[in-house]
Each structure stands twice: as C-alpha cells, then as structure tokens.
C-alpha cells in the first residue's frame, strides 16, 4: 500500500479485528487478520497491542494451547466505546477523501 498508516488507524483496525472474537484472539491470528487489509509486521503490531492494553481498551489473558501458553487479547467496554468513535470518525474522514477524489469537495 502506498499510504502510510498512522497510530490511530492501526489502533482502530486492531480493535475491529479483536472485537470480532467474543472470547478474544491471539497475536498471530490478529496479525494475519490485519494483513488482509494492510501489510504490517509483527514488530509493528505488538506495540499496538501493548498500547491498547495500557489504555485499557484490551484485556489480556493466557491459555494453554498444545502444551504451552498462548496470550489472548479481548476488547474491553472502554475498547468498544473507542472502536465506535473510530468507526464514526472513519466514516466522515473516508467520505471526505472519496469526495475529493471524485471531485465533489470545493477547495
């Protein structure tokens, strides 16, 4: 993708991906799901997960899988509220950009 992805957009995408799983999901799957929309490395994604956890938008728990612990991430109520805000802002923002590309915005 030729467009840079800012921190807020990455946060929004990660919250959207994690919110799809009621019981939470783990880092590798989050990476794979995010990569369906944009190219991102694990070294980029894990700081996003930590930041969202620090901001109380994600909760983290470990569960055994194939004899080892796997870290799971789940969206909190605060995270769902933040995701709703991101969705509303994205709708307005993306419409403005679309309008500009299609010649509908007067500059």
Model confidence pLDDT, tens digit, residues 16-69: 999 999 889 999 999 999 999 888 888 889 999 999 999 999 999 998 888 889
Give the bridge partners for 70, in sequence order: 63
Question: Residues 6 or more apart from 24 whose CB is under 8 A from it?
Answer: 18, 59, 61, 72, 73, 74
pTM as predicted: 0.88
Q: Are 11 and 86 in contact (CB under 8 A)?
A: yes
């Amino acid at each position: 993708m030729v467009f840079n992805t800012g921190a807020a957009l990455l946060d929004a995408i990660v919250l959207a991906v994690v919110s799809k799983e009621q019981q939470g999901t783990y880092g590798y799957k989050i990476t794979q799901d995010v990569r369906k929309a944009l190219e991102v490395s694990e070294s980029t994604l894990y700081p996003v997960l930590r930041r969202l956890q620090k901001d109380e938008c994600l909760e983290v728990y470990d569960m055994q899988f194939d004899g080892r612990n796997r870290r799971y991430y789940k969206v909190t109520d605060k995270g769902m509220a933040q995701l709703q805000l991101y969705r509303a802002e994205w709708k307005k923002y993306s419409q403005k950009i679309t309008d500009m590309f299609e010649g509908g915005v007067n500059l």
